[in-house]
């Protein structure tokens, strides 16, 4: 799942926790048979009910494999996996690309076997990057969400917008801690510097804009509240933040940047100690199918990586034809080899050079 909707707190199902405990502790021969018909999927803590309806229930109906769901933030779930190791009981972890790369650095995941996932042949090339041991199942586009009463699409598409003194105090940007933050940094680095990893130019530029930025946000709720309350006229954001606002008919829209277009992916990863590897592969195969990608786009709001999936009107109203082929529209993914080793330093520098003032 993406950050398309405000987070909803959910309580882990007792059965899911029990199943995890049994898998971690070791099961009897009878329980082993039952375990083959069950997988544990770790996912994001928002949109869970919609994901259940869109993907999990149809998967169980088709395969007979039951799915227990555990939820949590990227960081929390990766930390728990690191502590539990092969005893986590998790078969599939749905996680943002940066955290997937972090987990790979610690050998927490295993390579998804392409021979066991036929639907890999159907998905877009960017979903199959060699840098990751698991495929992308959805993605997120960075751009600007804005008030159509105050700005035109062309104005909102220019990065210079955020340095416009006439709009000082009426703009918002993401903190580096959220997905849009890194995408913003790379977009600014490419536009004003030597490329997406030109952190010096990016931070210098953002630091210059900072006095006119009302807020460096850390959640989609903050952005939508600032917009609807009239406190800001624009914010750099993921396209999913605009879906509900645009659907409501209110005067808001989202546009890709004129330059420096970057996207993030959510990956389907199999932990190194997954107890049901075969079931995990079957789940990923279904998750990438045109059927699941279509229903997930419709009910969850995920942008599909399977080009044969149907993009719902609610998403098309925000991103237009970009959803058909984001790469052709100028979007690129970022290389985790460039981001993982530098993350700590960049976070510290962002705090000192951009948000400290």
pLDDT digits (tens, 9 = 90+) for 209-236: 999 999 999 988 999 999 999 999 999 9
CATH number, domain 141-263+331-355: 3.40.190.10
Q: What is the pLDDT of residue 35?
A: 57
Model confidence band, residue 193 (pLDDT cutoffs 50, 70, 90):
very high
DSSP state of 73: -
Residues of the chain with CATH 3.40.190.10: 14-138+264-321, 141-263+331-355
Distance CA 76, CA 64 (A): 30
Mean local confidence (pLDDT), 192-214 = 98
Close Cβ partners of 157 (under 8 Å, ≥ 6 residues apart): 143, 144, 255, 256, 257, 258
Q: What is the pLDDT of residue 36?
A: 73
Lookup: tokens for 350: 């962002």
Model confidence band, residue 85 (pLDDT cutoffs 50, 70, 90):
confident
- Residue 207: helix, strand or coil by DSSP? helix
Q: What is the pLDDT of residue 7?
A: 33
Class of domain 14-138+264-321: alpha beta
Model confidence band, residue 19 (pLDDT cutoffs 50, 70, 90):
very low
Q: What is the pLDDT of residue 4?
A: 38
Model confidence band, residue 343 (pLDDT cutoffs 50, 70, 90):
very high
pLDDT over 80 (residue 30): no
What is the 3-state composition of the chain as percent helix, strand, coil, each rounded to the nearest 5? 50, 15, 30
């Amino acid at each position: 799942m993406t950050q398309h909707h405000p987070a909803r707190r959910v309580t882990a199902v007792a059965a899911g926790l029990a199943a995890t405990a049994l898998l971690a502790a070791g099961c009897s021969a009878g329980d082993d048979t039952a375990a083959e018909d069950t997988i544990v999927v770790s996912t994001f803590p928002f949109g869970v009910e919609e994901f259940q309806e869109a993907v999990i229930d149809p998967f169980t109906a088709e395969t007979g494999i039951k799915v227990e769901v555990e939820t949590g933030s990227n960081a929390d779930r990766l930390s728990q996996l690191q502590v539990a190791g092969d005893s986590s009981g998790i078969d599939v972890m749905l996680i943002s690309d940066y955290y997937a790369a972090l987990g790979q650095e610690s050998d927490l995941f295993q390579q998804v076997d392409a021979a066991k996932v036929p639907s890999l042949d159907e998905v877009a090339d960017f979903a199959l990057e060699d840098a990751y041991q698991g495929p992308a199942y959805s993605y997120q586009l960075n751009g600007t969400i804005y008030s159509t009463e105050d700005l035109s699409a062309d104005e909102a598409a220019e990065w210079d917008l955020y340095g416009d003194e006439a709009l000082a105090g009426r703009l918002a940007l993401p903190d580096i801690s959220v997905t849009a933050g890194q995408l913003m940094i790379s977009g600014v680095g490419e536009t004003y510097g030597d490329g997406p990893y030109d952190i010096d130019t990016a931070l210098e530029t953002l630091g210059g804009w900072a006095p006119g930025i009302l807020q460096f946000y850390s959640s989609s709720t903050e952005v939508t509240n600032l917009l609807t309350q009239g406190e800001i006229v624009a914010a750099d954001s993921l396209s999913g933040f605009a879906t509900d606002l645009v659907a409501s008919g209110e005067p808001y829209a989202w546009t890709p940047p004129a330059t420096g277009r970057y996207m993030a992916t959510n990956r389907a990863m199999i932990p190194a100690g997954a107890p049901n590897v075969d079931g995990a592969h079957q789940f990923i195969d279904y998750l990438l199918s045109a059927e699941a990608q279509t229903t997930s786009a419709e009910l969850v709001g995920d942008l599909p990586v399977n080009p044969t999936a149907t993009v719902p009107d609610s998403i098309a109203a925000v991103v237009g034809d970009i959803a058909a082929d984001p790469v052709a529209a100028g979007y690129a993914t970022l290389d985790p080899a460039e981001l993982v080793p530098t993350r700590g330093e960049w976070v510290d520098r962002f705090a000192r050079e951009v948000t400290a003032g």
